[in-house]
Amino acid sequence: MKGILEGKIGIITGALDENSIAWKVAEQCHAQGARFILSNAPVALRMGKINELAEQCNTEVVSADASVESDWENLFHHAMNKYGGKVDFVLHSIGMSPNVRKGRHYTDLNYDWFLKSLDISALSFHKMLQTAQKLDAISEWGSVLALSYIAAQRTFPDYNDMAEAKALLESIARSYGYHYGVAKKVRINTISQSPTRTTAGTGVGKFDIFFDYANRMSPLGNASADDCAKFCAVMFSDFARMITMQNIYHDGGFSSVGISASVVDNFK
Ligand SMILES: NC(=O)c1ccc[n+]([C@@H]2O[C@H](COP(=O)([O-])OP(=O)(O)OC[C@H]3O[C@@H](n4cnc5c(N)ncnc54)[C@H](O)[C@@H]3O)[C@@H](O)[C@H]2O)c1
């Protein structure tokens, strides 16, 4: 399928390197005819990798720390000035937990870091949406997505305080989805993605076991970042016009399986 985002304008956050889910989303949106601005935190921009993506997608990168409201304001202003109008889609692909990074156990959390996890990984979604609405920066029937994980619903001990961050993220999609839907027909959803080999993903303890277990449990196997990108493009398109306030599992069936033959065999 080609061109389902022809004429659409967007903002894509969170592309750090070629493994990032956001990187694949940008490539797919570009292939589908969209024009968009890329954004990431100042520290990620210093890595420089994102400039390669910008060149490939014929666009530019705007620095924004997701926890800073004025950075969101600047980002939306920049996009509207560049393209001469409102944006049609936004991807929030941002997650970070200092407790995970620094190996703090869930029963021994540093609460300043916990607040930081929530701020960067979840509250930033509200900041993004509230800023957009105040600036009236998203077109009617626009589509906003954030990426989540099933640890919002089920316990995965090593996912640590990111579980709370994802629960909050998904709740914000529902709550803000109501308000933005009524006001401007803007749809807001989260996609709950399979474990994926990225910088953020592999930072979670015992990631390889996590990955293998999910792969064995899922009838279709783990969903790749490329498949996630294709799904995001559909969600941004007019083919998903009436979907809002949902958390959609993009996980090869993992979320509906109790146990699989492959996992049973592994225990034999
Ligand atoms: N990889 C997985 O297994 C997996 C599974 C489900 C959901 N997700 C979610 O997908 C999203 C993207 O992660 P990814 O797996 O592509 O990893 P990634 O490391 O490539 O992307 C995470 C991004 O968050 C950005 N970020 C961190 N702090 C920021 C800040 N203060 N301001 C702006 N940006 C900031 C990083 O620079 C990076 O680009 C995250 O929300 C993650 O939780 C990942």
pLDDT score of 245: 98
Q: Residue type at 87?
A: V
- What's the pTM? 0.98
Residues lower than pLDDT 70 in the chain: 1
Rounded distance from Cα 122 to ligand 1 centre (Å): 11
Which atom of ligand 1 approaches the CA of 211 most closely? 3
pLDDT score of 205: 81
Rounded distance from Cα 198 to ligand 1 centre (Å): 8
Residue 84: which residues within 8 A CB-CB, separation 6 or more?
none
pLDDT score of 1: 63
Rounded distance from Cα 94 to ligand 1 centre (Å): 4
- Give, for ligand 1, the residue of 13, 19, 21 to mutate: max count of ligand atoms closer than 8 Å to Cβ: 21
Q: Would you list the domain boundaries of the chain?
A: 9-267
Long-range pairs for 257-265: beta carbons < 8 A, 24 or more residues apart: 257/217, 257/218, 257/219, 259/217, 260/216, 260/217, 260/218, 260/219, 262/216, 262/217, 263/213, 263/216, 263/217
Q: What gap in Å lies between CA 35 and CA 57, rounded to an integer?
A: 8
Q: Whose CA is nearest to atom 39 of ligand 1?
A: 14
Q: Whose CA is nearest to atom 17 of ligand 1?
A: 200
Q: What gap in Å lies between CA 158 and CA 203, rounded to an integer?
A: 10
Rounded distance from Cα 267 to ligand 1 centre (Å): 33
CATH number of 9-267: 3.40.50.720
Q: What gap in Å lies between CA 98 and CA 34, rounded to an integer?
A: 34
pLDDT score of 213: 96
Average pLDDT over all residues of the chain: 97
pLDDT tens for each residue of 53-97: 999 999 999 999 999 999 999 999 999 999 999 999 999 999 999
pLDDT score of 206: 86
pLDDT score of 80: 98
pLDDT tens for each residue of 126-160: 999 999 999 999 999 999 999 999 999 999 999 99
Other CB atoms within 10 A of residue 174 CB = 15
Phi, then psi, of 41 in degrees rounded to 5: -70, 150
